[in-house]
Amino acid sequence: MDFFEAQALAKKRTHRLVGLFACAVVGTVLTGYLAALLLTSQWHNHGARRGYVDYQSADDSPALWQPGLFAAVVTGTFAVVGLAALYKWNEYAGGGAAVAESVGARRLEPGSADPRERQLLNVVEEMAIASGIPLPAVYVLDDEIGINAFAAGLTTSDAVVTVTRGTLDRLTRDELQGVIGHEFSHILNGDMRLNLRITALVFGILVIALAGRGLLYSLRGSRVRGKNAGGIVAALAVTGLALMVIGYLGWFFGRLIQAAISRQREFLADASSVQFTRNPGGITGALKKIGGYALGGLVVHHDTAPIRHFFFAQGFRSSFDGLMATHPPLDRRIRAIEPQFDGQFFEPPEMVDVAHTSSAVAGFAPPLHPVAGFAPPAQSSGFKSPPPPRRNWLPPETAAARAGQLTAGHLAHAQELLDRIPAEVREAVRDPARAPAVVCGLLLDPDPGIAERQLALVATQAGEVTAAALAALREPLAAVAPEARLPLLQLALPALAALDRGALDRLLGTLDELVHADGRVSPFEFALQKVLERHLHLIAQPNAAIGDIQSFAAVADEIALVLSVLARLSGDEAAAGDAFAAGTAQLRLLDGRLGLQPAADCTLARLDPVLDRLVRASGPIKRRLLTAAAAVIGADGVVTVEEGELYRALAAALDVPLPPLSAAA
């Protein structure tokens, strides 16, 4: 299943989920209506006995069908559930970080001296680079000694990965990698947003019970004064009790739905983890330790109750066994990966030895070989003709299908890329104080004269601290391989997102000055700015990820411009025509509507607002556009590093994660 299929499936699951919860709410409405009928009937009978109500006959009792009462119950129920669900959804509007912090998790500092925390950061970095998503922020539940983890967020840009202290202490690197691979599957498959919707809807139903409980609590110790006060208090008590019963019944069935949906996704995430790591023993080892550990995956913090279905393993014990279980039984999950499993779990050590583990011993770091079809990087920041063709690049359909994919090959390539980044640069990119200097350093021109002007701009625009950090990092940054530049930007995103608004605005302004210091914008410079701006925007406003354009015709002009810009990268008019034709051949729905744009119009400046509109397109449109773009770029049989970076920037601008193309090839 590719990224677009996974997103479409997540959307279908969301619609099914809404339908199931609508049934639960309807059941709540009907139960509430019956309770309201009973209460009004009792009230009228009480009033008749007291002389408050004058019935005309003995048969003049409240009817079973009362449209006004039913409308009031429906309106009240939907208002309470809807407003409460919106309130909870708004709580999570800050994305994954809001979820992690709501349960007391601590964000890991990038410079942590704890070897287990550093190992976790390294594993998450490898997964992020391999899958092409921004580096998720990493959190730890320090007080939880059970073995568990979860991923949360609204988009891949605001995702976070959270693990318990027990996971850090008791799992080997391979096992930790298996668990993190499982969580990355949830990130890439769109499960995180679905999980948050489930949480908000269940909370909406629960609020009815909480209102009833609050009403009963408010009546404790109340004194009855007056002739009719006793009847009023009794009526309020009965109302509170009815609300509690109705709300908890609705909540119970809502949790059943929640658990059933959660169980369905766990087998896929386990299988994906094996695919990512090429190491079945990693995730099965973690599951066996959970089964043999006295606490298992237990999570005791009361604030984690609403998000139990987020976790890697069952985080609570239930009297309803399979009905309320959010995860399949451990032995079934293990046998799905290891059919010969004998049913034996084992007790994990109190503390694993991480002093001698590394990505190399984990078995994922084969040497990186030259990639067929990838040319050496251009040495100038302007548009340059590609070198002579070599072998064909990936077929267009294959290139687009790589979106959201993470394989053992991608992971091995990511580990080698990270190993080749100088240690001082890797440390700096994690530090909010020095990460801006790293990003600025990626834009330094190879021409010494232009580079000196850029350094002066950094001192003036970004401040002396950033300028000093850049001066110290200039030499190691020069050693960063061209194919590692965008991955390095991915690693910088959490640190940059931690900057205050003023510092971030100054950095973006400085980057714009650096880009234009030589009077032109290269594909890499455009890619860096676009990726950075898009992901920082989604981190700040996760709900901005929308897709409301469903028609290819509605974005035909925008698609034509994107393909034209890509086709004209070489500057050869004949080659541009052939490349553009190769791209339009992938868009049969727009036959006759796409034309190669004049060279004067094919600037990166014009591409910027076009991508801002295309990000609102539906998944099928984005997929065909990326397929067509791959056909354009690969039409001459070779892809330069800058062309590959621009393609990845196009995907990132469309909110589509794409692994490094060299690994994909």
Residues 297, 529: Cα–Cα separation, whole Å: 42
Which ranges of 395-541 does DSSP label H, i.e. alpha helix?
396-401, 408-420, 423-429, 435-442, 448-461, 464-478, 485-497, 501-515, 523-540
Residue 183 falls in the annotated catalytic set: yes
The active-site residue, picked from 117, 125, 126, 183, is 183
Both tokens assigned to 176: 């930790």
Q: Which residue type sits at 644?
A: G
- CA–CA separation, 435 and 504 (whole Å): 11
- Both structure tokens of 74: 């429906």
Name the DSSP letter for residue 376.
Answer: P
In the block, residue with structure tokens 């809502």: 254
CA distance 568 to 599: 7
Strands 137-141 and 160-164: parallel
CA 158 to mean position of chain CA atoms: 6
DSSP code of residue 295: S
Contact predicate 583/596, CB 8 Å: no
Distances (CA, A) of 119 to 52, 551, 640: 75, 46, 34
Concatenating the DSSP letter of every residue in 565-621 gives: HHHGGG--HHHHHHHHHHHHTT-GGGTTT--PPPGGG--HHHHHHHHHHHTTB-HHH
CB atoms within 10 A of CB 601: 11
Residues recognised as catalytic: 183
